[in-house]
Amino acid sequence: MPDMFDPYHQWLGIPPENQPPDHYRLLGLARRETNPEVIRAAADRQTVHLRSFSKGARAELAKRLLAEVADARACLLDPVRKAVYDEHLPPSAEATPGTAGLGFPANSLLDDPFLQPTVAEPRVLPKFKRKRRPWWPRVKTALIVTVLLVSLLLVAVLVRVALRKVGSMLEPGSQPEPIEGPGEVGPSVAAKMAKEPPAPLGPEDEPKPPLARTLPGHRRPVCGIVFTPDGSAILSAAKDGNVRLWDAGSGELRWTRGEHEGPVNTLALQPGGPLLATGGDDKTIRLWDRASGEPRRTLSGHTGPVRAIVFSPDGKTLASAGHDGTIRLWDPTSGETKDTWTVGKDAVMALAFSPDGTMLASGGLDGVLKLWEVESRQSAGTLEGHTGPIRSIAFAPDGATLATGSEDRTVILWDVAGRTARHTLSGHADRILAVAFSPDGQTLASAGYMADRSIRLWNPTEGTSRDTLHARAAVACLAFSPDGRLLASSGYDGRIRLWTIPPTK
């Protein structure tokens, strides 16, 4: 007697007592499976398996089972159809007669005469008609895509208008640039800029209290300024690749140097020594004779732009940091590397030694203030409070307070011994790029970026605002004169402004 062929059992492993199978059993799924990805994967798996039987004596059976699998897939992936199907699904895992309305035949394929012993005459099976998918989901998808594209186009137009508006607000000659990444000025461009005459001073630059003097000359944002110890001169470094020495009294330019191969980002004076140090996008630190401007030495080791350098109070150690996420300690006399600390993946943007030289503070794009013990080369703690990158750090002269300026538009005054925040100073309308204490520690100055363009003077003890200076351009850095009577600010318009600071009461 010929064998009866059961395609459900032999091809899909569904025993006779579970036939005819429901959609979940047909796809090999747990009943009422809800994950569309699982349903889709199961249907694809059954389809691939059944297609292997689509040629041969039982090709018609394979086609019918493929149609059932396709119908089960469509039903279970359609939330509405699936909900109706699940509502009428019998509670038992076994097949229940009369379930044709649920999407599978009331009778098993075995009841078809075609499945009788192979010696019998096969019967022509009716063709299954594929159900048409509804048109609305496709139209809905097209509408959503169209709305998204129109929205993106509108946002792009608004951003462009906003950028033009910001550009129109900038003063003549100002050239803002990305402050987190390297500049775009190469050595040839820097040399050309050095020969160009500075933009003429306008009426707003005329001395008028509290503005004492304006020093034009740089052609790009000035990113570093410092007074000489006797207060008679000012040193500046800028994105035009030049370092300049100015007479603080007359405003006369004494010398200009341009050894860096690109923008200069920072500078520092050696306490009690003859050296000036500068760091730039060319990944190097240059040491100069601060009086003559003659180059002394080039320090190499960083693998990214150098963004911060500072001398220890005794002048025997130079610390540097930048985009490579490391802090390097150098011997400025020999040029040897004393040590290298890996801070993290984010760029380090600011450094400051404590007045006694025992501690080094660092801050960067991760927004965390890190303290380091210089002698042991170990971490002395981390202080968190800012919600944006830290762009500047300054210790108070007594070393008890530390100030940090951030892109979150706040200045935090920290208790160094207690490792806690004393005051959070708010008021700037844009990111804060510079903070500086007066020599007597009674005044803290902070400066903001493009939307702010102001310098605020604070009482650091009480955490209150004392005065506001209108800088006329975004301010990149600040420096008090040794006697505290002048405050120098460097702008993104390439100018240095000297402000008269009234004595504190």
List, for residues 133-175, the tens digit of each pLDDT value: 677 777 878 889 999 999 998 999 888 877 765 554 443 333 3
Give the residues across from 342 on adjacent strands.
326
Alpha carbon dihedral 408, 410, 414, 420, in 10-degree steps, equals -60
Question: What pLDDT does 310 receive?
Answer: 97
Which tokens sit at 440?
Answer: 């007597």
**H or E stretch covering 36:** helix 36-51
Q: What is the distance in angstroms between the CA of the first residue and the CA of the last residue of the chain?
A: 117
3-state secondary structure 17-29: HHCCCCHHHHHCC
Query: Residue 61 has what pLDDT?
Result: 86
- Tokens describing residue 246: 């100015």
User: Of 98-112, 197-211, 238-252, 292-306, where does mean pLDDT reach its minimum?
Assistant: 98-112
**φ and ψ of 263, to 5 deg:** -60, 145
Range in 103-107, 132-136, 280-284, 328-332 the model is least confident about:
103-107
Each residue's pLDDT tens digit, 15-68: 988 888 888 888 888 888 989 999 999 889 988 888 888 888 888 888 888 899
User: What's the pLDDT at 119?
Assistant: 40
Residue 218 in this model has a pLDDT that exceeds 70: yes
Per-residue buried b or exposed e for 282-298, using 16+ beta carbons within 10 Å of the residue's own CB? bbbbbbbebeebeebee
**Over pLDDT 90: what percentage of the chain?**
52
- Mean of the per-residue pLDDT values for the chain? 83
Per-residue pLDDT tens digits for 422-449: 999 999 999 999 999 999 999 999 998 8
Higher-confidence residue: 119 or 294? 294
Is the predicted pLDDT of residue 104 greater than 80, yes or no?
no
* Mean pLDDT across 317-344: 94
Closest CA to 192 of 227, 234, 242, 152: 242
* Average pLDDT value for residue range 87-114: 49
Return the axis-axis angle of helices 79-87 and 59-77, rounded to nearest 10°.
100
At 178, the pLDDT band (50, 70, 90 cuts) reads: very low
- Where are the extended beta strands (E) located within 343-495? 348-353, 359-364, 368-373, 378-384, 390-395, 401-406, 410-415, 420-426, 432-437, 444-448, 454-459, 464-470, 475-480, 486-491
pLDDT of residue 181: 40
Torsion of CA 413, 415, 420, 424, to 10 degrees: -20
Is the pTM of the predicted complex or chain greater than 0.75?
no
